[in-house]
Chains A and B, each alone.
Chain A
Amino acid sequence: MLRWAGLLGLLVFALFPCYWMVVSSLRPQAELFTVPPRLLPGTLTTEWYAVVLRTTRMPRYFLNSAVISTASMIVSLTIATLGAYGLTRFRYAGQRVLLLSVLTSYVLPPVLLLLPLYLTLGMLGLINSYAGVIVAHVTFTAPFCLWLLRSFFKTIPVDLEEAAMVDGNSRFGAFVRIVLPLTLSGILSTGLFGFILSWNEYLFASVLLTGEARKTVPIGIAEFIVQFDIRWGEVMAASSLATMPVIVLFSLIQRHFVRGLMAGAIKG
């Protein structure tokens, strides 16, 4: 009994803000601003969603976010899959230094990279471009993926690859035919979590994307607040729209995520 009461309390704490966000996005103006606020919605409306999708640039921002997050995911997975495999299967001179560098890159304060990236990308003409923000996002998604994937590769016994090589596969062949298929779900989940990290990121995107054409969803939503009068209905609708894909993705990968967290995730 006590246990269920505790769990119920936790569920309310964890999920009420999500509930409130969605409910607020579906309330007509008059019900949004009532004192005291009412817990259950009366009439529901999708007008805020219509406003967000028709009259603001949010659809464009969703496209931008999708492009940037997908590219960040692909780039960081490429670096991380090869690097994580190398670091679990080969011995390099300075192995410890390498691992320590990866770990360090993983926990560097983002504001430490902010100015150098801004100035360098500016010099290269990559402000307000997809490429610039993708580079910035890879600075944290790549070490995250590498660290997580290392733990997945560690669980694959080396004997399997050796057997494949005895059967005539090259070493690279063993990697492609044995290790990749066995870790594919782990690799994809890791990549999707990298996607989520990139999707949610605010700091780099806010500095590197100032023009209308390339802004991401978090930047777009934050602009609703800057304005003197916050239009809560629209903001709640946009926030709900931004959150939905993340929750769907996460529910797909959470099983691997739990395992990955155990094995060494820090970011989050």
Chain B
Amino acid sequence: MPSDTTESAVQQPGRAALGARPRVRRGGWSPNGGRLGVLFLLPTLAFLVVLVAYPVAYNVYLSFQDYNYLLGTSRFVGLQHYVQLLHDPVFWRSLGNNLVWTFGGVGGQLLLGLAAAMLLDGPGRGMALVRTLLLIPYVVPAIATAITWRWMFNDFYGILSFLLTGVGLLPGQTSPFASVELAMPAAICVGIWRGFPFAMIVYWATLRGIPTEEYEAARVDGAGGWQEFWSITLPHLKHITLVLVVLRTLWMFNYFDLLYLLTKGGPAGATQHLPILVYITSFGLFRFGEAAAIAGLMAVTAGLIIVLYVKVHGPGEL
């Protein structure tokens, strides 16, 4: 979790008291749960089995099949899809696009989020309102986001295309989404717009948790603004930054809706990332087995990131 500082402080005394307290009536606190504990967990277990374990296993099975949904044919091919994918330039290009989309987006979101958090931090009238307003992009539906940015980047009538042409960044009467070089940077901008509030609010809450005495002490020692930032603020943000990087990376890496609705992977595959490749391979080409293999490789990558997350957090902090 991004921050456990407040919660664990409250939770731990209660937990610690479990063993020490005398048992109260009707079973009391049996730490192993007993029958009631199982009842509470039952829906979650059912969920994990039916909607997580089963589909994942099914996907693994599919990836070993040469399953053409349109023809209805299916036969076992073992690891063939995986081997083919590793030799497929389209796969590698999509992976490359996925990494650019992910790291460009995550980097921008964190930088802008941190800047926003630092501006929000501290006293000031109306800060709560500003904070709320800055959070809005985070909940605008992906479809509305994509449509609006496509309209703003419209080749003839888009206000952003017009402005960018004015400062010489775009040749006239074109949309960046039609350009092989500019489509991905433009899409990343939209990804940053949609995702920066998350980083902002996490950073903002972390900044509020830094004891003011540390700044006061630094000021007594004659530290300037930048020195304070480097020696006090940044060290306090190190841990949460690592966590944010991992969480946002996972999210952006897997995120289908926004990029697909912005560009459908085009032009000429320039913004086709792995989720779009899975979508096109399955529901465009109906090669379900191959699509399942791509999704499987994505899951392996996500799994590695999860391991990293648990490592960053330490084993006790799940």
Contacts and interface: CB of A to CB of B under 8 A. Distances in A.
Contacts of B119: 3, 6-7, 10
Contact of B28 (A80, A120, A165, A254): A165
Interface in B187-242: 193, 195, 197-198, 201-202, 205
A47 interface: no
B292 interface: yes
Interface stretch (B31-39, B79-87, B99-107): B31-39
Chain A contact-residue range equals 35 or more
A158 interface: yes
B130 A258 contact: no
A7 B128 CA distance: 12
Interface in A59-114: 78-80, 82-83, 85-93, 96, 98-105, 107-114
Interface string B234-274: 00000000000001001101101100110000000000001
Given A17-B149, A172-B36, A261-B2, A92 B41 contact: yes
A120 to B, nearest CB: 7
B96 interface: no
B115 A159 contact: no
B183 to A, nearest CB: 16
Given A82-B41, A92-B37, A108-B56, A155 B144 contact: no
B136 A15 contact: yes
Given A114-B278, A157-B10, A146 B44 contact: yes
Contacts of B52: 101, 104-105, 108, 139
A154 B136 CA distance: 28
A92 B32 contact: yes
Interface string A156-197: 011100100110101110000000000000000000000010
Which of B55, B116, B157 lies at the interface centre, i.e. has the most chain A CB atoms within 10 A of its CB?
A: B55
A262 interface: yes
Given A115-B295, A199-B141, A155 B36 contact: no
A3 B120 CA distance: 9
A168 B28 CA distance: 11
Contacts of B43: 78-79, 82-83
Contacts of A41: none
Interface in B33-68: 33-34, 36-37, 39-44, 47-48, 51-52, 54-56, 58-59, 62
B140 interface: yes
A129 to B, nearest CB: 16
Chain B contact-residue range equals 35 or more
B76 interface: no
A51 interface: no
Contact of A112 (B25, B151, B251, B299): B299
Nearest to A246: B139
A98 B130 CA distance: 39
B157 A111 contact: no
A91 B14 CA distance: 14
Which of B26, B29, B51 lies at the interface centre, i.e. has the most chain A CB atoms within 10 A of its CB?
A: B51
B32 A91 contact: yes
Contacts of A105: 47-48, 51-52
Interface of A: 3, 6-7, 10-11, 13-15, 17-18, 20-21, 24, 32-37, 39, 78-80, 82-83, 85-93, 96, 98-105, 107-117, 119-120, 135, 138-139, 142, 146, 151, 154-155, 157-159, 162, 165-166, 168, 170-172, 196, 199-203, 207, 217-218, 221-222, 224-225, 232, 235-236, 239-240, 242-243, 246-247, 250-251, 254, 257-258, 261-268
16 contacts: A3-B119, A17-B148, A20-B152, A35-B156, A80-B44, A86-B44, A89-B37, A104-B306, A111-B274, A154-B7, A157-B14, A170-B26, A222-B143, A236-B148, A242-B141, A266-B250
Given A154-B7, A207-B283, A218-B257, 12 more contacts: A21-B148, A90-B31, A90-B40, A101-B52, A107-B250, A110-B275, A139-B51, A158-B15, A170-B26, A222-B143, A242-B144, A251-B132
Interface of B: 1-4, 6-8, 10-11, 13-15, 17-18, 21, 24-29, 31-34, 36-37, 39-44, 47-48, 51-52, 54-56, 58-59, 62, 112, 115-116, 119-120, 124, 130, 132-145, 147-152, 154, 156-159, 162, 193, 195, 197-198, 201-202, 205, 247, 250-251, 253-254, 256-257, 260-261, 274-275, 278-279, 282-283, 288, 291-292, 294-296, 298-299, 302-303, 305-306, 310, 315, 318
